[in-house]
Structure 1
Amino acid sequence: MAPLHLGSPVNLAAIGFSLLVVYLACQAVYNYFFHPLSKYPGPFLHHISYLPRAHKLMQGRLAFYVADLHKDYGPVVRLSPNEVAFSSPQAWRDIYGHKKVGEPEFPKSDLFYKVFTFLPLAIINAGRDEHALLRRQLSHGFSDRSMKEQEPIIGGYVDLLVQRIRENLEKAPNQPVNMLQWLNWTAFDIIGDLGFGAAGGFGCLEGSSYHPWVKIITDSMRQSAFMQALSSVGLRDAVQWAAKRASAAGQKHRAIIREKVEQRLTLGAPRPDFLEGLIRKKEELGLDLGRLQMNASLIIIAGSDTTSTLLCGTLFFITTNPEVLKKLVHEVRTTFKSDDEITLTSVNQLTYMLAVLNEALREYPPVTIGLPRVAPRGGGVVDGNAVPEGTIVSVFQWAINHDKRFWTDPFKFAPERFLGDERYKNDQLDAMQPFGVGPRNCIGQNLAYAEMRLVLAKLVYNFDMRLADEARGWLDGQMAYTSWVKRDLPIYMTLAAGQ
């Protein structure tokens, strides 16, 4: 047998493999012992590799896994060679909050906010100055004045929801109603109308069926998580290449958005919707059709899935906690003498309902994960911990919302913790920030609260509710990427006395 020469393909492959092993070993040693983040606690594999985090993200279990890590390692945990997760109210302020003049902010991480680099930017991933301009224009659609003008639109869809459930009960009086569908349909119709000026929204409630775009959005959340995971392990360029060529759903998504935005542009007359401010100033802001589409897409996703998710969680919790439901029913039905009295404004007086919604936001936050930021040039300090420049940092919502250091009985659904109950006097309410903090917090917070209150008040006023036995384990094993992959939510709905 002839001897192998150094330059033979087999030898070159062996040498290449050996060099790769040596490189990875050296990298692991550096990451574990000498990296600036080596002082922070966390599992060994997380110190040396991005793979464990990526694996949990792709499983839809990252948020819960991080909560377990905080339980084991404390309020500061190293998630990967270049990422640290924090769990404290001060971390919210340090990472996401307003900065003093001249103090740099923690910019958003491109790995999360710019998964697809070939798409135009929107308010969520625009730079600081552009974000401020876009937010200023979008804020008109979320102002108190606009909310008053939007009330008939929102109220009309919520009334249609009640009507459709009544009709459903007439057809099948002894069958549970899948409230996941109905709440999804309501949220998408409302945001479709307010976002695009499309009468009838997406037609979900009218036709008692899903618009095809709803499924596209749901699927895209899981796909986006996979793309983020692959990008984090060094496959970012491959992700971009594949996404450009293989994303039929993404192309369909953008086609629907383009059609809706073009329809909105042809309306001409001013309208109290979210795009009005951007359309008025589109030339001044340099917003072409592509940029308008991306901002519209963001508004639809952020304003629909999050709302329906929280309402689903709320219905699950109140139907599995009879005392809470009893108090809520009493408040709503003694406050209002008729369904007509329940409006976007009048629901603001329902203090117990607000506590119920806040507790649902704590237990079942629509956004479960940490929204990653990057330590600025020169590094930064988070809750007293120095983080070097370029370090990815975040607070995971589900983790901090269930952290024993901030909440008494964190897995107990107790609205009273938001009402000054003595049993929960040590709870740190500022640990929960479902809409974020600082200059990039959720612009639609007030509208979301008003819409959720209106939907919940109408349902509680008109129907008695009982969770179907098969839904008792509704939360068990649910996956969560950016938001939750929700199961059907069957609830027996019967007309309340006098309705």
Structure 2
Amino acid sequence: MTKAKTFTKPIRDRPETILSLNREDHSKFRRALSHGFSDSALRQQEPLIAKYIDLLISRLHEEYDNGKKRCNLEAWYNWTTFDVVGDLVFGQSFHCLENIDYHPWIESIFKSVRFSAIMIALTYIGLGELVQIIAKCGSSLRRARQYTRNMLNVRLAMEGKRDDLFEGIAKKRDEWNISFEMLTANAFILVIAGSETTATTLSGATSLLLSHPDILEKLQREVRSSFKSADEITITSVNKLHYMLAVLNEALRLYPPVMAGLVRTVPRGGEQIAGRYVPEGTLVEVQQWSINHSKDNWNDPWAFQPERFLATPEAAAKDGDKLESLQPFSAGPRNCIGRKYDRIASFSDFFVYNKVT
């Protein structure tokens, strides 16, 4: 089923992105991007990621007197993930951690996301023509696009091969005749998808851990007993921390960064969905929040219980937990290409709890 344009492209004159492309073009773009998201690329990018995480930790110690003062970790997580992904897409940091503030481009992004949500809502209720008029006057969208253009110009002017998230598309620019505006739109999507979602997951995990000190203590014991020094901490090694990964899965279940919005349109002639006929033109979606909090899928669905993810799928099912129903990165050929970057969240989480708490 095709993506519903109401949700993926409410402003019609905007270029297509990997979110709204048809199936054939989406597959082509995804293949071009795939190298930057591979295990080998991730290992090459690890020093860059670690640099920003180390900077996060040092700044937290400096600003909050080694934990004696309160801080807004949500903002710090956003600053870190935007700095990381900015470097991985544009080859340059937003310098949020250095300046302890949001870059103007990021502020314009948040405003444009809110603006886009309003445009989607208006389109949904049948005011699509009004949306096209309003979009031409939207200052936040214009500022976000201009900032993106400026940074993309710098990225494209860089010499030599870069094993980053944008290299795959950049190399195909001439061969596929990709317009600069289309490159800009996809760079924008990559930054948003790779930053704010990770920061949201970390914020949710932190909130849940701080409200469950027994689970936090158990996580700290696992982390601190697993390594002799910080030098042993790598993206590969933290994946051996089974309890930490269970904590992150449970945080993704209770606090999904994408709750809904992956809406499709039922094709001509209608379709059978879950054993029921659904007529053509109907908007349908898999609603993450509802699935993650349904008693049909989880035993005590509102409780924070990381242990449910330590069991085998068979054992968990006997206890009322259908582990396969957790799909925070979607499923199928259009699932999140950056799902492996969930390990960045694990990496960040580890450093924060090991060095700060």
When the two structures are superposed, what TM-score results if normalisation uses the length of structure 1?
Answer: 0.69
- For residue 217 of structure 1, report the CA deviation from its aligned partner: 1.9
1:228 equivalent in structure 2: 120
Look up the SS of the partner of 1:399 in the other structure: helix
Look up the SS of the partner of 1:252 in the other structure: helix
1:174 equivalent in structure 2: 68
Greater strand proportion: 1
Does the CA-based 8 Å contact 2:252-2:328 persist in structure 1?
yes
1:240 equivalent in structure 2: 132
Look up the SS of the partner of 2:175 in the other structure: helix
CA distance in 1, matches of 2:159, 2:22: 30
List aligned pairs for 1:4-403, cutoff 5 A: 106-170=1-65, 174-198=68-92, 201-244=93-136, 246-403=137-294
- For residue 388 of structure 1, report the CA deviation from its aligned partner: 1.4
CA distance in 1, matches of 2:67, 2:47: 30
2:55 partner amino acid: L
Look up the SS of the partner of 1:438 in the other structure: coil
Change (3 A) 1:316 1:269: same
CA distance in 2, matches of 1:286, 1:379: 36
Corresponding position: 1:432 with 2:316: no
Among 343, 350, 354, the alignment partner of 1:450 is: 343
1:386 partner amino acid: Y
When the two structures are superposed, what TM-score results if normalisation uses the length of structure 2?
Answer: 0.96
Look up the SS of the partner of 2:126 in the other structure: helix
1:292-345 CA distance string (max 9 Å, x none): 101100000111110000000000001111111011001100001111211122
Look up the SS of the partner of 1:234 in the other structure: coil
CA distance in 2, matches of 1:383, 1:219: 38
Look up the SS of the partner of 2:143 in the other structure: helix
Look up the SS of the partner of 2:3 in the other structure: coil
Change (3 A) 1:290 1:423: closer
- For residue 261 of structure 1, report the CA deviation from its aligned partner: 0.8
Change (3 A) 1:297 1:423: closer
Look up the SS of the partner of 1:282 in the other structure: coil
5+ residue gaps, structure 1: 1-105, 465-499
2:104 partner amino acid: P
CA distance in 2, matches of 1:408, 1:217: 38
1:447-486 CA distance string (max 9 Å, x none): 1x2101111111111122xxxxxxxxxxxxxxxxxxxxxx
- For residue 173 of structure 1, report the CA deviation from its aligned partner: 5.5
1:405 partner amino acid: D
- For residue 376 of structure 1, report the CA deviation from its aligned partner: 1.6
2:171 partner amino acid: R
Does the CA-based 8 Å contact 1:404-1:410 persist in structure 2?
yes
Corresponding position: 1:463 with 2:356: yes
1:208 partner amino acid: I
Look up the SS of the partner of 2:132 in the other structure: helix
Look up the SS of the partner of 1:330 in the other structure: helix
CA distance in 1, matches of 2:31, 2:259: 27
- For residue 116 of structure 1, report the CA deviation from its aligned partner: 1.2
Pairs aligned (count): 354
Look up the SS of the partner of 1:313 in the other structure: helix
Moved beyond 4 Å, runs of 4+: 421-424
Q: Aligned-pair RMSD on alpha carbons?
A: 1.3
Does the CA-based 8 Å contact 1:146-1:272 persist in structure 2?
yes
- For residue 214 of structure 1, report the CA deviation from its aligned partner: 1.8
CA distance in 1, matches of 2:172, 2:121: 37
- For residue 145 of structure 1, report the CA deviation from its aligned partner: 1.2
2:346 partner amino acid: R
2:42 partner amino acid: M
5+ residue gaps, structure 2: none
CA distance in 1, matches of 2:124, 2:61: 49
